[in-house]
Structure 1
Amino acid sequence: MAYKKFPALCAGGCALFLALIAIAGGSMVILPGESYRGALPPLEREELQLRDRLRQHVVQLSGTIGERNVAHYDSLVKSAEYVKAELRKAGLSVSEQPFAADGKVVANLEVEMKGTTEAQEIVVIGAHYDSAPGTPGADDNASGVAALLELARQCTNLRPARTVRFVAFVNEEAPYFQGEEMGSVVYAQRAKERREKIVGMVSLETIGYYADQPGSQRYPAPLSHFYPDTGNFIGFVSNWNSQSLLRQAIGAFRRGGVKFPSEGVAAPAGIPGIGWSDQWSFWQQGYPALMVTDTAPFRYPHYHEPSDTPDRIDYGRMTRVVQGLGKVVEELAGK
């Protein structure tokens, strides 16, 4: 997850904005189903196996390989090779979208599962595999890539009505964030040029850190007035134009039987954090898109730090999130 510095909002501005939200933004808080509350049951055998695979991916990307970006080009290439190898190990065919960034060849990596009855409609599940400068990027974003790999593996035998693409994006982090050499920008622009009908994009972004202490969760103004102050949930985040996708996705997560807290927000893209990942690139092309996140800098003390290491991740809770996301993919795909 990348971000830009933002100005403080004055108290009067917040009050006005809250009033506008109350009038026009009910979608910020009114979502299908209810967030799970209560103790989390122990992981069962298959869940433990999934947990171990998720840990393996995070350790390999952020522990063994470490910082991976154009400035650490060899490591970026190694991480791409790891992603491709894991997808191929699952029996999936990987295509590449290469392009130049600062004179070096980088690539988005894609697996496509062709739809049966609605093949022209496309669902994209994405995560960026680069890390920010100076950090090994366990939560940001080896956690998202690990989820991407396991969701793709789970969907190997899926026969979706819609075409489903799993995409590992390069160059989400600075200095490429929201620039022409950001991997998802290149991808979304190409999709638009080809007149592809992307009906939903889900960005898997920092999904591995959770905390049970009151006050462990913060928000940009004015969201703190609406959401819990304990960082034990997974968040679904979209702009207003993608609120239908948000409702469908979080509804599928909550109906799917996975016992894990979830919160959702559809809000103006200008609120800090709302557009801080690859979903932003799809919004620029008019496609509906959302982000699934642990909220990164609003919760995680090691965000964009050298201490964002594999031992910080809660693999048990991350396992439950990935299980729930499997239900989201199935519903969006029209299984």
Structure 2
Amino acid sequence: MTRVTISDVARRAGVSTMTISRVVNNRGEVHPETRERILQVIEELGYRPSSVARSLITQKSQTVGLVVPDITNPFFPDIVRGAEDVAYREGYTLYVSNTDEKPDREALVMERLESSMVDGLILCAPRQPGEQLHPLLKRHRHVVVINREVPLELAGSVVNDDLFGSMRAVHHLLASGRNRIGCLAGPPNSRTGQLRVQGFETALAATGQRLDPTLIETCDPNEHGGHVGLLRLLERHPDLDGVVAFNDLVALGALLAAQEKQLAVPTQLAVVGNDDIRMAALATPPLTTIRIDRYVLGQMAMEMLLGQIQGKPCRTVTLRPELVVRQSAP
């Protein structure tokens, strides 16, 4: 079926395309009878204005981009849902892009969204180092970064207090009598992972323990990474009796590795995750974890972004997570 154009409407209504544009965009003076006739023709022909043409005139596309490092990770869909609900309510369309944890792909996605003239960008847990990321942020008019603070002249930020959450997890393990605690730190280029390692080190240092760097193992942020990572930790420290994981997927992989090594959880090894994804409560045993309200994270990021579009300044908001105690580390 041929798309109805503004010229088709103008021909049928007997007016200029400029007059049609004034009516569609509700701008300028148009005689009430003429306006009524044009609206009737628009309805009869089923005309829908081109969003591309409108964006060239208004410099607004009513679209925003949201970039995530791994759409298969259950942490991110709830963020997307929170952002989407706010965008839908305010009349915006959300474009979601996945980067597969690859910094180069993340940079390319940011460039393509810039070319697509999105009104704003939400960037989740970016993997690029600051010297690469910051110039790209400058090219976007309005940006909010989730789970990483950046200079306010570049973007707003909505972050989880990962330092506090990691310290809370370690303190819980220490209070339950664990003496040899390891850390499955996630990818080394993750700012979230870096902060959680810092929290791990800070909590242990507060007890007077000497920090042993061999108790920290970087890993992929998924089940395989947790499985391989715990096996490596156990090779170096067979007496390991507690572990804090980068996220719940890593913790689930660690549970599998413990089972392979015939280590009873939590009797011989206590495991604490991060995020409280839905699978955490269904694990065997159910996973103790640090809960992050991901839906609220997405909502707040989108509300902040739309505020920037309306002229509000960039700011940083920090959300504090909570410990959820289950059977993997009672």
Q: What TM-score do you get using the length of structure 1 for normalisation?
A: 0.29
Q: Which has more helix, going by share of residues?
A: 2
Higher relative contact order (CA 8 A, sep 6+): 1
